[in-house]
Every structure is written in structure tokens, then in C-alpha cells.
Structure 1
Amino acid sequence: MKKAILFILLPTLLFAQDFAKHVNPFIGTGGHGHTFPGATVPYGMVQLSPDTRIDGSWDGCSGYHYDDSTIYGFSHTHLNGTGVSDYGDIMLMPTMAESSFDNKVYSSTFSHTNEKASAGFYSVKLDKHNIDVRLTSSTRVGFHEYTFNKDGQANIILDLNHRDKLLLGEVRIVNPTTIEILRRSEAWARDQYVYARIEFNVPLKVNLVKEENKENTKLEGIFKGTELALSFSKQVKKGEKILVKVTLSPTSYEGAKLNSSEIKHWDFEKVKKEAETLWNKELSKIEVTSDDKDKLAIFYTALYHTMMQPNIAQDLDGKYRGRDNQIHTAQGFDYYTVFSLWDTFRGAHPLYTLIDKKRTSDYINTFIKQYEQGGRLPVWELASNETDCMIGYHSVSVIADAMAKGITGFDYEKAFEASKASAMRDVLGLEAYKKNGFISMDDEHESVSKTLEYAYDDWCIAQMAQLLNKKEDYQYFMKRSQNWKNIFDWETGFMRPKKNGGWDKPFDPREVNNNFTEGNSWQYSFFVPQDIEGLIQAHGGKDKFEAKLDALFNAESKTTGREQVDVTGLIGQYAHGNEPSHHMTYLYNYVGKPEKTKEKVHYILNNFYKNTPDGLIGNEDCGQMSAWYVLSSMGIYAVTPGKREWSSVEPYFDKIKINLEFDSPSREITKSSSLKKLMLFEMSNEYHEEMGAVEAIDIDYINAKKIIPVPVIQAESKAFKDKLKIELKSQNSKDDIYFIINDKDDHLAKKMFVKFTKPFEILQTSTIEAYVKTNEGQSNTIFATFFKKPNNYSINIKSKYNPQYHAGGPEGLLDGILGTENWRKGDWQGYQSQDFEAVVDLKEVKNVTEISARFLQDQRSWILMPTKVEYYISDDNVNFTYFGSVNNTLDPKIEENIILNFIANETKNKKARYVKVIAKNFGKLPEWHQGFGGDAFIFVDEINIK
């Protein structure tokens, strides 16, 4: 029996204790945690924090890193633990003496000894001009207090070009104490709007302006431009304070003015106290008992991190900027932003179903509005922009989990409609997934991860369909949810990428490559949360599955292939620093070994979470890393969001009390609690009566038709010279496989599928179709096309390609198969830090009239066109003569993926047997590039010789 805990958590609302005192906002600001220490309130629009990094680097995604010693300013929006940089909107920096817009001048050093942070508060001393800064906030207003510790001219710098690319900046001087701002910017969110209202407690004058790359002293009016900064000044005496309130709005100047009413006074201590009260209200939802102050700090900081987002994204009157970039008004719910769903569907959102049902329904209402206004559910939504970062359509997991747990307040039918619409699109490999039952490398990059995550999401949609009595939809999506079986290699026990109908070779389960999302086969082969029993059986039963789990945790803690900064916190090949691994420790419960779950979970709790700046083993990722800690320390985890049950482990704390939103007694969990005991969530009577929820929710595969896994079409390569041997395999050796061969000579002939009995050979370009047939049914029909090479040339590559980008080996440059703009599918050869040089042997002397080679540019991935391509010819492969050259004319700053064919022609007949191709590497990436100082790649695909 799998061990699970499903429990009633009865609500109360008591927060007399000071839980906020345990929060240490510096946890995660060092190492690779990517958190920020600044002032915010639960789920607030404002995150007012110092910025120590302005380059958008990996460890600077939040704007702050504990290793730094320079502060550039204090901006009002920040991301908590993401892996991509954005935000840093409306940056202010206090200085003294002469104003400057050079951030190297207006920035200041600081010391951690003069820095403090707590829930809702941050302070620091700026060394350069001896200025004390204190920050706090309400939901939509950031509150600054600057103390100038010497006489002189005090300045407040407003730099709208801070961090992100400024698409349009506008500053309106309303009066000497009030200004209005629009900052429209581009970074991860391609078109972000932030309106702001800045109020000073004393009159300040504009003493310097930078507008459209020009500095002037225009003192009134409206300033606009893509380069825009202003300095506001006042003469101060030693010890004088200037207070500043900055109010944000996603909609308009009027919205910012309305939102400013959140703080109608200038009492900094009062705002700070109100922020602490808000935090205590939220943190009081879970009370833990411990004599270990570090454990309390880690727990309550983790809970704090889960409550820093999603962020409210509407004005006080309900107005918000929708996915259609129009202004709408939320009716009956609050509109939110920052949905890191690939991360948070796993633990953070299940935690919210436990302690924040109202916001859970608000999130889903937000999803529905984004579907109505943008045509699909959010994937990774940021500031009303779909970033399309990460994979899957995991909004459906959040929806299914809420429905399974009886959370109301949103339209179930509309949520299902939106979920189904998102799953029926023909993008990102979905077309092939629907047709073939899996995604191949030929169809889409990250094919293994996408197949697995789509399958889980489809199971979630099936659960919605079951609750809504949509029987056909239930069967359809339950069938799709079994597609993981089509990429499970029954011989190795791994999820493997497929290419052209067969397994891609060579295969190393430790290899991080473009067939997986931020991981490798080890880290994805256990992602079948919707059918754990099926996965156990696919391995041959509980004993073999347990052995596979043991092998995961006992393997060498080293990956191969591409360096992936997300893969951290390794225990064997388990990577706690990245989300795909988070459920794996609990899988031992499903084979009757809860003691192994306890051993692994408690090891992680003890070793991977610390009360230090580098106290997170990987990116916080908008609360998911911390949600794992919160849930696991309580003794539960949602292995399968979309089911009511929680997988269990011995609690980490002596006593845990959970307080929910309504006026009822709390529920206590202790280490002596019986974790085998099943307990149910409290559901509303209305939900029971209308949905019949209890009977319908715990759905498994008993009532769903099983799929037959597709066969494998295996050959040595996709291209061949003379003949090619083809073999067909099925997961069960007793299965019957049927196939047909279509080639160019008989493509119009009516052919019948025949039973496969032994390997066969093809002699020309052919397409093989095959399916498996059993007593229980028939698999999808799959296709594989094998190409007879258009020549018998051979190639000797002098350079060394990156093993991640091999295009099938050297012959891949002569096989007539052309790569597409999506280089991640594996049809390009990649060379870094070197020129490309190769010699093609034509096998005999021929007249050569044209030589060409195709190259790809994707500058965001460090792939740039060669600066020049040179061609030489020879009769003896020793003495080469010049044939021609082509200089690159493509701008390296272009962001689109572009393919160019570098063609050299010769009108006179030139005889040669050997052709040499040399492509000059771009070299070091320039200062404008995000990878400044790194080495560019050359990506080459096909060499053609006429």
C-alpha cells in the first residue's frame, strides 16, 4: 500500500504571536538562491529592495546578491528566485553634492554590518555620502526614509534606464512634491507597463535631466524618451530626513493616484508596523514549535518566501491590465501576476490550497481571464506578458488540484474549457504529440520533458472532465496521459529521446542536453505522478522500482553534457536544486518503504536549507523551493497535484498547528500522529451535492482504456550511402508489429501493412510506417524516413564539434537533410572558441562551379554567423588553391533565428577532388551581448558542391 495522508485542517484566525520575528530575508540572497532582502507585504505589488547588480546576470536575477558591496539604487519591483532577469522598476537613489546620471558615480558602497532586513522592512547605510536608508511598504506603496548625516545638497536620482531596456519613459512634474511616471520596458516581459506616483514630504526641485541622450536643466513640464533620468535636490542640514512615497499602478496615472491612498500620512513607523501585522496574519496560518532558533528562522522564512508572490496586479478599484493589453475591471476576485507555474504547480500551489483557498480561486479566475483575453492559459506569465518560459500547460494542474479539494469561487466549466483549449493547440510539439502519442527530437526540442509533462497535464484535464461528467473528454485525456509509455525504454528503464522513429543514440542518462528541460534522463525518468503504479509495473514491480530509486540516489553525483546551472543539490542524480526532482524522495512510499522516504527527506531538510545567505541549494523559483521545505517539515507532500491525497513522512517539528481562514478550531500534527490514518479535507456541502466529489476524485486507470505503446523503428542512421538495415521492436516480444515501406518508386501503389518477422534492408530513400497490434488493441502508427545520400562524398573535419551538437556525426554535413531554425532538434553541428575547417573528398576529380555552406545565427544562444567563409580546392589534398570567399553581412544583434547560405560561384571550370571549407569564428562576445566575454559558437549544417 502507498502511504498517504489526507486531512481535515480546520480553520481559525489567531496571530497574537510574533512569527515575523523569525523571518530572515537574507536567506537565499547568496549562492544561487536569487532572492532579495527588501521590503514587501504578502503578495504585494511593491517589492522595494536594493539593487546591487544591473547586468541581468544569472545570480543577479533578483537585482541583489549578498557577495556584492555596491548599491546602485532602490527599485520597487523584484522577482523572487527566478532564473531569468526582469523588474527593477522605478529606481531611486539618494546622493549628495553634484548630481550625476552615471551609475558608477551615483552608486555607493555598503557593508552588511550596516544592513538590516526583516519582514516588511529593510535598512542600510550608504557609505559614499553617509546616508541612512530605511524602506517599508504597503501593498501598492513603497515608503522610503533617507537620513542625510551631513550638511549639503541632497539629491534623489530617478533613473528609468535602470536594468531593463526602456521602450518609453515619461515623467510629469505635477508640483514640487509630486511627480508622475510611466515606465514601459522590455526584458523577460516584452512590453511591461508601470505607472508610478512619487510624493516627497518636502518640496524638491529638478536640478538635472537626461532626456533622449541629452542632459539639460529643464525645470518643468513633461519629459519623455528612451533615455530618461532626473535628479531632484534640496539643501539639507546634518541629520535631516527626506521621506518618499512611491505608488505603483499597472493601468494609469489615475490608478497610481488612487492607490496612493493606501498611505495617507508620513509616519514611517506606522507603515512598518502595519507591514509586520500583515506578515504575522499570514505566517500565523502554520505554527511550528522548536527550541532551535535556526530551524524556526528557516521555516518561517520559507513560508515568507511562498507568500511573496503571486503579486496583486490591480488597482484599488479593481482595474488591471489584461493579456490583451487593455484595461479591465476584476469583478468578484483579485487579479494577480507572476505565475512561475512550471515550478510552483508542484508544491507551492498545493500549499496554497491548504492555507489560502481564497487566493487559490483568485489565481484561477486570473487564469480564466487571461484565457479569455489572450486565447490560452498562462504558462509563465509576468506583468500581463506571456514569457513562454518553461514547458507544459501547468495552469491545469492548479485548476484540477483546486477542484479535487473542493475549492469554489470560480467557474468550473469555464476553467475546463480553457484547459482543454490550451491542450488542443498545435504548438510546441503538441501537434506531433496528439498524432503520434509522443514528441520526437525531429518534432521539437526538449521532447522527452514535454511528452512527460503534457501527459501529466492531460491527466489533470481528465480529472476535471470526470468531475464534470464529461465522459468522452475523460477517456480522451486519460489516453493522452499514458503517452509517457511511448518514450519509456523498457530495456534500460529510462525515459529516452526518440529520433526518426527509434531511440536516439548514443544515450547517457546523466547527459544534460536539449532533449530535456533543465535536466537529464535520470531526473525525468520518474516524472509520471499521474500513474505511479503504472511506472512501477513498467519497471517490473516494486522491488525493481525500489532498486531503480536506490540507483538514482546512489549514482555518481556528476552530470555530463551541457553545463546546467540549475542542476544543484545533487544526491546521486537526484537534484534538489531544481524542481523536476522534488517529488522523488516520496516515491519510496509507493513501494512500502516509508523509512527510505524519511531518510532522504530529513537529510534534505537538515542539509540543503540553512539560516544563511547561501541557505538555499538552488533557485527559490517563486516559492517552490521553500514550499517543499514547508510541506515536508509538516510531514506531507503533494506527489500528484490533482488528487486529494498527500504523501506522508514523519514531521520535522515536534508540533505543528495549522490555522485556516474560517472560525473553527485548528488542527495539530505531532511526531506521534498516526500518519497511516486517512483524513479528508473539509469540503462545502454545496460541492458534495453538486459534484459528488468524494466518489469521483480518486480516479486511477481502472476505468480508462490502456494504450498500446508504439513500436521502435531502429536503424544505424537517418541517412545512408548504399543500403540500410531496419529493425522493428516492441515492448513485449510477443506483440505483433505491422509495417509498410513507401519509397519514391511505389508511393502511388496501394500497399498493405504486413507483419514484421525479421530485420530488412532498404536501398533508396524510404518512409517506414509501423504499429503494434495486440488482443487489447492497436498502437498509434508511427513514421520514420531514411534518406539515401545524394552523393558518395566523405568529409574530414579538422575542428572539434561540441558533442552536444553533432548532427549525427561528420556525415551529417553531407546527407542532404537540412536543419531548421530550431537548432535544438539536433540537426546542426556546433563549434565554440574555434574556426570551422573541413575537407570534402569528392572521390574523383570533377568540375566545380559552386560551393556553399549553411550557417545559423541565434545570438541569444551565443550562436553567431562566421565573419567570413573561405573555400579552397585541390587535386591531391595537399596543395590547395583559392576558389572564393563570402563575408558575413548579417547584423549580430538581430534576435531572430536566421539561416544563411554562404555561396561562392566560379564561371570558369575548375577541376578538383578535394574542397576545403574554412569559417571564421566571431570570437569573444561583445559588450552589448548578455554573455559578454564568452566565446561564440559557429553552427553549420550542410555543405553543397556543384
Structure 2
Amino acid sequence: MRKTLSLLFCLYSIFCFSQEKNSSEKLISHVNPFIGTGGHGHTYPGATMPFGMIQLSPDTRLDGWDGCSGYHYSDEYIYGFSHTHLSGTGVSDYGDVLLMPTNTVNFNNGASEEKGYRAHFSHENETASPGFYKVLLDDTNIEVELTVSKRSGIHHYNFPKNSKQIVILDLEHRDKVLSSEIKTISKTEISGHRHSDAWAKDQRLFYNIQFSRPYKNVTFLNEKTEGEKVKAAFEFDASEGNELEIKVAISAVDEAGAKKNLEAEIGNKSFHQIKNEAETAWKKQLRKIEIETENQNEKTIFYTSLYHTMLAPNLYQDVDGRYRGMDLKIHQSNDFENYTVFSLWDTYRAAHPLYTIIEKERTTHFINSLLAKYDEGGILPIWPLAANYTWCMVGYHAVPVISDAYLKGIRGFDAEKAFEAMKHSAMQDKLGLKSYKEFGFIPVEEESESVSKTLEYAYDDWTIAEMAKAMGKTEDYKLFSERAQYYKNVFDPETKFMRGRFRNTWFSSFDPYEVNFNYTEANAWQYSFYSPQDISSLINLMGGKAEFEKQLDKLFTAKNETSGREQADITGLIGQYAHGNEPSHHMAYLYNFVNKPAKTQEKVHQILNEMYQNAPDGISGNEDCGQMSAWYVFSAMGFYPVTPASNQYIIGTPLFEKATINLEDQKKFEISTENLSDTNKYIASAKLNGKPLNRSFIYHSEIMAGGKLVFKMTDKPSNWATKDDEIPKTEITENLIVSAPFIAKGDVAFKNETEISLAVASEKTDIYYSLNDSEFKKYSKPFIISEETVLKTYAEQLPAKPSARNLGKRSALLSTHFYKIDPNLSIKLETEYANQYNGGGDNALIDGVHGAIDFRTGAWQGYHDKDLKATVNLGSSKEVKTVSVNFLQDQRSWIFYPKDVSCSVSENGTDFTELPIQKIEAEIPSEEAGIKTIEFEINKNIQFIKISAKNFGALPKGHLGYGGKAWLFVDEISPLTSEGGK
């Protein structure tokens, strides 16, 4: 009997293993690496390992925004196969160490009219799967196969019979080369380095390359083996066979590290052995979440999304534990794996919360990597790339990644050091933080993207407060919970939008559809629902749940177009909800907070089905290192982390019959559905571990404990989870602040006089003000200013029972300088400026306020592809010595000096005398922003001054925006009279 049981157990084990193996193989077959390679997805199809250091992929595009990954599905030519690529980013880098098999020695890459080594290909002869890529090069009939290990990869080339066998090594390919070298170790081994300048300003990469057969000839471009233009052509003897394998490993440390990586990971293993190991690793990864559905397209979209979440961050450490730190020095770590490529502005929202569920161990490596960067570089990174700070995007979003993990019980890092690093980021004075700390918001005139920065800093500060509270740090909790409410200071109660505060007024004229420099890749619609840490208070600011719901409805039904600046990132529009960019990602779930989960279910179902497709153009925006896909992974399972660090996931609507999360401790969390169909998208009821679940959110701890969540679906909205005690809530209830008052009415630069009205968003709050340092008095009604004045103001909220010991809370003290324009002075603009760069309105060029070197601080007036034509009327004839006008140059932002500036003057407004035209060499490339003052000598009595400035026009070749048109930025037309003033 015992033998029979043993035999049955063995048979059962074999059956289970077989089922598991078949299941894993099916999962890998459902990944389509070509999703996102078209449109603006910016993904690559090549071979890589989960979170691996090497990405061995074809390069079909050399530059341009849609060439950020090196590959675009619409292209027809392959330039070669390089070893590093970025997945879904909006900025280009990598593409290191390009190899290309061909049949002639030709060092031209073919980008120009001259034929080079590039080769035509067709997608019919192209295959990709996790860890593997294959293509036939039509022009040469060479078949290429690629596979990888973590830090190394293998090229397998099959040349046609009797053809020449040439392999080009191009170290100049892609980014600007700082230094490169090819060292010949033997006929079968070479090594060297490539140091480059792109997004990462000083990327250092070393390589080791080993050929399966000795080459018989090598030719170097210009006979150079080192320098900035290093290329080599290796010829192999065709009589020795048609197949050639090339093993390549990379390192950021040194050539010895690259060789050690190759020996440790590949050694004498064959191509097929490495391919099998890569596929085995991916099968294990993809089993972390298993779904059941009859819809094969949805299954492919899901597993490709899960695959995309596992492409970054990237390992950045050799097998011996050495890595290059943010100080560009070599460090050793035996305690954690070092990673790079943290697209934190994107990934803190959903990708990193996903990792806290399915990658707990790796999350500790991520956090220790971030802390190492703090030690080496002096600050937590915003967007680290290859041992470089890029300072890309806004916020300090390493902070919520750390806090979210800590509050979920992931503690494999030094919490005290982590908290120190988090505080350090928040206490800086750069990137608008000085103003943010002083005023409780960032003024438009102090810092670009001021609204977005204020909002994102406030959320980050809340996560610091929550970690401080958990660690018993009372004073820190108080400080940062106060700062977490600073989002209130950019909320305009009249329009119900988050708006820029320009000299304590609201930036105007206001268009919520306008994409301008007050927001990061967005407009007012797309940032006005962002206070995930305090949604209850945001609802109150907007007038309560009914008003908040109406505003959400307007968001999704507004016209689906934007005004103002061209912003390619704003895609996937449903009304003004922009799923193609991250600030919108939480919005569909906000209906749950106002007792309307059915509306969340409608919107989430729509987004899941409309914004993701099994096609190259299947992602509605940049993939952004996994964030776009993490939204899908979460939402398809039925919930989403609206507020990372709250330990809550807000329930949407499940897409599959069943989804199982296989946790690292062998527990399982299953989400299953009853009566699911395309029309049955609404939740009728839910059960968690057999008990009714009557709330529209679940806790992180409930997932990690394992169990079963069952949804019963219906085709009509239900009353499930609609009561006040059944809805999610994020709310700051302690250390409440008083909002800063604002100037609701009044011109900062005025003629004659201006009427000033003050207001504040906080209820039951008094406003106090002072004029020219007079004694503060309580504001009760509008008042008039008729001279140049400095207004100071603050708000105060008294407690219910004020006393000597119980004084009122005050806002920050704000100061505004009001300028009086000579009432006789006027200006007529014959060309139209862009509203987003209005500089303060029609009088901006004569208001006495000068623009700063940063064009995004509001004082410059901008003209896109238009000349400036303006006439200044002095009001009467005056002796004018000179007239000057200022122009800005910031070529990186498409702002060029004018080609020439002309001035003509008149005493009667009819007969004008033209002065000599002043030309500017505006075409000279410059990386630096600058201000140029053009001055004309007049020395005569005049009343009218005409200024014309010729826009640069079409952007020059070599400029990132080539094909587009330049901006002309101007400020202050300043006549100097004999009296010495304007």
C-alpha cells in the first residue's frame, strides 16, 4: 500500500510539474515584444533578461523623439544590433557597441544618400519573444539571432553560402562619443570601451567580444583604434562555415569586469543553452501573475504589459559586485544588487507599488541602490541613468518609493538613513523648493512648472510625514504633514482648477486646455485632481462630493484637444483625461471617493479596452519604463494604487475570469469573477475570503496574506459600496494649515489706478494686509492703489476659543510689488503673442518688469513663427536719447534670437525715420541661455517708436526640433529720455 501511494504521489508530482511547465511555456508565448514599438510607445523588441543590464536589440532609427529606444516599427532598415536600450522613455540615450553582419567593408551607416552597411528588412521575417530576437536581413540574406544573459549576450549569424563574411563594429553609432577604443587581444577576442555624452552626460561602458572563429582580416576606419570615430570591419573565412557566433559582455567598471561577466554567465555555453536559460527566467517571472481568459488578445496585452514592467530598472553591477557609482568611482557591494534607470516620476505611481507585491526582495535592492546613490552623489536621484543624474522631470519621487515599501513592511534597508535621505531631498533650495518652503507654493515668476512642482512636492512630503509618524518622529510628522497641504495654495476656488500664481495673482488669461509652462507635460485639467494624499479636502475645496463628481464628469466629456504648447506626450485623450501621460492615471478611480464606484467601473473598462491593443501602436503614450503597463496589470486585475504609501488599492473592474498573484512566500491571492462579459462590467457584489466585501478598496495586507477575492458582475450600475462608510478616504486631519491669500482682482502693472480684491481658499479665515510697510489691518473690502506700492498680506484663522495661549494659525506672509506704468505711455502690437507666454498681457513690453534667464518664469512675451511688430506711443513728443529692447535665446527650448531688429521713429505718427537695422548671428549653435539687449541711438524729439524683430523661422539642421519653427521671446522696449527715464 505504501509503495502504491508513493507511486501515485510521484505520478501526481510529474503531472503537476508537466502542467506547470506547459503553463509557463504558454505564458511566454503570450508576450508580444512588438507592442509599443510603433506610435509613441518607444519600446524595443530585442532580447533582454528580467531587469537585466544588457538589452540586445536592433537599431532602426538614429535620432528623433520616436527613435528613443533605437527602434520604430515603421522603419525599413536595420543599422545594426547594439547592446543597451531604454524602454519607453521620452529622451534618447544608449545604443552602445553596435555590431552589424554584412558582406562588404563599408563604414558608412547608410543614413545619408551613400549606401552603407545598413540592411533592409521586413516584419514578415522578424521574430521576437522574451530573451530572443531573430531577423533576416534582406539586402545580404544574412539571418541574425540574438539572445542574452544578465550582462552578456550572443549574436548568431548565418551567412549565405559563398558570400563574404564581414562584421562591422561601430563605436561611433548613436550618441556623442567622448572616448572609445578597440583592443585586439587575439584573432578571436577584442575588448575596449565607449564613453559617451547624451542624456547621461558621462556614460562609461566597457566591453569584451569573443568570436567563435578567428577573423582573417581586420580593417579600421582611418586606421584608428581609439578616439571619437572608431570603427572596424572583421572578415571571417567563408570556407570555415556559414555560421558565426559572437559573445559580448558589457561593464560600467572596466574591461576586466566585462570579460569576467562573459566568462561567468556564458563561458562555453552554446547559443541555445543561453536562449533556454533566458526563456526559463522569463517563464518564472511571468508566473508571478497568472490569468484565465478566453480572449487571446487580452491575454497577450496582459502578459506583454507584465513583461514591460520587468524591463527596468536595470542591473548595473558586475558579477563580482563592483559597480560605478554616482561619483563615477568604483564601489563594491556584496549586500545588494545595484540598479539604474529609475523613471521615478512615472513609476512611483503604479510600477513600484506593483513591485512591492510581486518583487519584494528586488524592491529592497532598488531602495538600497537609491540610498547608495544618495551616499555617492549627495542626494537621492530624480531620474538616474548610468551613474549620472539627469534631473529629469519634477518632484523627489524616490521618496514615495521608499516610504511605500517601508509602510508595507519591506525593511531590508537602513530606515534611519533612508529617512535622512528623504528629508534631505525635501529641504533643498533648488527647483523651486526655496519658495515652496517660504510661501507654501511656488510662484510662477520663481520657477517653471510651478503648479506641478507644488502639487508633486506636497504628495512627496505626505509620504515623508507618514514614514515619520510610523517611526515616531513627531516634529518631522508635523512639518511634513503641513507641507503636504500646500497643494491648497494653488487651488483657485472660482474656476475650481489648480493654477499658477503669478505675483500672487492667478496666471491669466486662463484656459484650462492650454498646455503651458505652469504644468509638467499637462494642462490645468490634467493636474487639478492631483492631491492623492488628501482627496477628502480636495473634494471640499471643489464644493463637496456633488461638485467634485460634476468636475470629473466634465474632465471625461470635455473636448479632446489641447491648446497652447505642442506636447507630444499628451495622448490617449478621453475628453481631457490623457491616459498617455502619467498625471491622469489615478483619475478614473476618483469616483469611488464620491460614492460612485459604477462610474469608476465604466471609465476603467473603457480605458482598458481602448488604450491598449495587441499591435505595435498598442500603447497610448510612452511606455515609460513600465508605468503605462503597470496601470494595465493592476487595473485588469481589478484595483489600482491611487495613493502609494496609503496601503490601499482602489477597486475598479476586473477584466479576466481569474487572476492569481503568486507571492514570494508561496501564498496566493486569487481574484475571480462570476457572470463576467463585455457588457457585465459593473460589480454587483464582492466577497473576500468568503465574507461579503462592501467597500470599494482593499488593503495591501489582505493581498499579502493570500486569499480569494470574488466579484459578481452585472450589466447595470449597482448600489455596491456606495455608502459613506464603504468608500475609500485619504485625508489629512492633523496639523492643518491656513491657505495663503491671493489677489483676486487687480493689475500688478497698471496705469492711473487699480482696484485690489483679496481672497483665500480657507473657510472662516481673515485676511490682513499692509501697504508700503504700514501697520497691518484686516481686509474687509476692495481698495484702490494709484502709486507704485508694495502690498504685504497674510491670512489668519482663529480657533473657536482664542486666548493668549491659543493664538490663530497664520499663512505665509506674501509680498507683491505693484508697478505704475506712465499713463501717457501705450503700445500697439501688430502681431499676436502666444497666450501661454503673454508676459503679463498687452502692456508686458512697457510694464517695467524684466524677464529672467529662465523663459518659463512668466515675464517674457513669446511669438511662435511670427515676427514682432510693435509701436510704442510716448504720449507726447520727447527728446529720446536711446531705445533698447531685450531678447532671449534658449535654443534647447527652440527660442532663438531674431535674425535682425529694426527701429523707426516719428514725431507725428505718420512720417517715420528708419534707423540702421541691427543684425544678429542667431544661427550660431549655443547650449547656453542668454539675453541680448539691442540698443538704438536716437537723440531727437519723437513720440512714436516702431520696433520690428525678424523671427528666426525654420529650425536649423542638427537641432532637435528640425522641421519645426522657432520662438521669439522679447521683453521691455525701453526709451531713455533726456530726463533719464522712460
**Fold shared per TM-score above 0.5:** yes
Answer yes or no: is 1:48 the counterpart of 2:62: no
Whole-Å Cα distance in 2 between the matches of residues 399 and 665 of structure 1?
Answer: 24
**274, 277, 280: which one aligns with 2:280:** 277
Provide the identity percentage: 50
1:615 is matched with 618
2:849 is matched with 817
Answer yes or no: is 1:562 the counterpart of 2:585: no
Q: Secondary structure at the match of 2:164?
A: strand
Residue type matched to 1:304 in 2?
Y
Q: Secondary structure at the match of 2:794?
A: strand
Structure 2: runs of 5 or more not aligned: 1-16, 675-685, 706-727, 800-808, 977-982
Please list, as runs of the form range in 1=range in 2, the aligned pairs for 1:543-622 lying within 5 A after superposition.
543-622=546-625
Please list, as runs of the form range in 1=range in 2, the aligned pairs for 1:475-874 lying within 5 A after superposition.
475-662=478-665, 664-672=666-674, 674=687, 676=693, 681=701, 704-731=734-761, 734-742=764-772, 751-776=774-799, 777-789=809-821, 792-874=824-906
Contact 2:172 2:229 in 1 (8 A): yes
**191, 209, 220: which one aligns with 1:180:** 191
Whole-Å Cα distance in 2 between the matches of residues 194 and 98 of structure 1?
Answer: 26
Deviates more, 1:665-674 or 1:449-458: 665-674
1:193 is matched with 204
Answer yes or no: is 1:22 the counterpart of 2:30: yes
Displacement of 1:646 in angstroms is: 1.0
Whole-Å Cα distance in 2 between the matches of residues 741 and 914 of structure 1?
Answer: 35
Answer yes or no: is 1:93 the counterpart of 2:125: no
Contact 2:669 2:704 in 1 (8 A): no
1:764-815 C-alpha deviation (Å, 9 max, x unpaired) = 2221111112223222222211112367422222222222221122311111
Residue type matched to 2:226 in 1?
K
Displacement of 1:918 in angstroms is: 2.1
Distance 1:726 1:206, change over 3 A: farther
Q: Secondary structure at the match of 2:529?
A: coil
Answer yes or no: is 1:897 the counterpart of 2:929: yes
Whole-Å Cα distance in 2 between the matches of residues 905 and 209 of structure 1?
Answer: 59
Whole-Å Cα distance in 2 between the matches of residues 294 and 702 of structure 1?
Answer: 42
Answer yes or no: is 1:318 the counterpart of 2:326: no
Residue type matched to 2:365 in 1?
D
Answer yes or no: is 1:165 the counterpart of 2:176: yes
1:576-632 C-alpha deviation (Å, 9 max, x unpaired) = 111111111111111222211111111111121111111111110000000001011
Whole-Å Cα distance in 2 between the matches of residues 461 and 14 of structure 1?
Answer: 42
Contact 1:130 1:150 in 2 (8 A): no
1:257 is matched with 259
Q: Secondary structure at the match of 2:417?
A: helix
Distance 1:514 1:206, change over 3 A: farther
Whole-Å Cα distance in 1 between the matches of residues 171 and 456 of structure 2?
Answer: 39
Q: Secondary structure at the match of 1:807?
A: coil
Contact 1:821 1:856 in 2 (8 A): yes
In the superposition, the TM-score normalised over structure 2's length comes to 0.89
1:288 is matched with 291
Distance 1:74 1:38, change over 3 A: same
Q: Secondary structure at the match of 1:623?
A: helix
Contact 1:335 1:366 in 2 (8 A): yes
Displacement of 1:42 in angstroms is: 0.3
Q: Secondary structure at the match of 2:836?
A: coil
Whole-Å Cα distance in 2 between the matches of residues 536 and 53 of structure 1?
Answer: 47
1:877 is matched with 909
Deviates more, 1:167-176 or 1:794-803: 794-803
1:398-436 C-alpha deviation (Å, 9 max, x unpaired) = 011101110121011111000000000001111111111
Contact 1:152 1:235 in 2 (8 A): no
Residue type matched to 2:166 in 1?
N
Q: Secondary structure at the match of 2:886?
A: strand
Cα RMSD for the two superposed structures? 2.1
Residue type matched to 1:233 in 2?
E
Whole-Å Cα distance in 2 between the matches of residues 400 and 699 of structure 1?
Answer: 19
1:205-259 C-alpha deviation (Å, 9 max, x unpaired) = 554323xxxx23x6xxxx2212222211124259701111110101111111111
Displacement of 1:900 in angstroms is: 1.1
**462, 465, 472: which one aligns with 2:465:** 462
1:688 is matched with none
Q: How many residues were matched structurally?
A: 903
2:422 is matched with 419
Contact 2:154 2:248 in 1 (8 A): yes
Q: Secondary structure at the match of 1:461?
A: helix
Distance 1:703 1:97, change over 3 A: closer
Contact 2:79 2:109 in 1 (8 A): no
Displacement of 1:699 in angstroms is: 11
Q: Secondary structure at the match of 1:415?
A: helix
Contact 1:441 1:825 in 2 (8 A): yes
Whole-Å Cα distance in 1 between the matches of residues 729 and 543 of structure 2?
Answer: 23
**138, 143, 157: which one aligns with 1:127:** 138
Contact 1:148 1:238 in 2 (8 A): no
Displacement of 1:117 in angstroms is: 0.5
Distance 1:318 1:459, change over 3 A: same
Q: Secondary structure at the match of 1:925?
A: coil
Contact 2:176 2:196 in 1 (8 A): yes
Answer yes or no: is 1:61 the counterpart of 2:68: yes
1:638-682 C-alpha deviation (Å, 9 max, x unpaired) = 0110011111123211111111223x3422221255263755528
Whole-Å Cα distance in 1 between the matches of residues 932 and 667 of structure 2?
Answer: 69
2:390 is matched with 387
**100, 112, 124: which one aligns with 2:123:** 112
**329, 334, 338: which one aligns with 2:337:** 334
1:3 is matched with none
Answer yes or no: is 1:224 the counterpart of 2:226: yes
Residue type matched to 2:852 in 1?
T
Contact 1:196 1:256 in 2 (8 A): yes
Whole-Å Cα distance in 1 between the matches of residues 482 and 812 of structure 2?
Answer: 11
Whole-Å Cα distance in 1 between the matches of residues 233 and 182 of structure 2?
Answer: 12
Deviates more, 1:790-799 or 1:160-169: 790-799
Q: Secondary structure at the match of 1:273?
A: helix
Displacement of 1:486 in angstroms is: 1.0
1:84-117 C-alpha deviation (Å, 9 max, x unpaired) = 1111111111111232334341111110100010
Structure 1: runs of 5 or more not aligned: 1-11, 686-697
Whole-Å Cα distance in 2 between the matches of residues 54 and 258 of structure 1?
Answer: 31
Displacement of 1:893 in angstroms is: 1.5
1:543-580 C-alpha deviation (Å, 9 max, x unpaired) = 22222211211222222222211111111111111111
Residue type matched to 2:188 in 1?
T
Answer yes or no: is 1:346 the counterpart of 2:349: yes
Contact 1:376 1:422 in 2 (8 A): yes
In the superposition, the TM-score normalised over structure 1's length comes to 0.93
**438, 441, 444: which one aligns with 1:438:** 441
Q: Secondary structure at the match of 1:156?
A: strand
Contact 1:885 1:904 in 2 (8 A): no
Whole-Å Cα distance in 2 between the matches of residues 88 and 206 of structure 1?
Answer: 26
Displacement of 1:735 in angstroms is: 2.8
Q: Secondary structure at the match of 1:855?
A: strand
Q: Secondary structure at the match of 1:152?
A: coil
Residue type matched to 1:681 in 2?
S
Contact 2:489 2:740 in 1 (8 A): yes
Q: Secondary structure at the match of 2:460?
A: helix
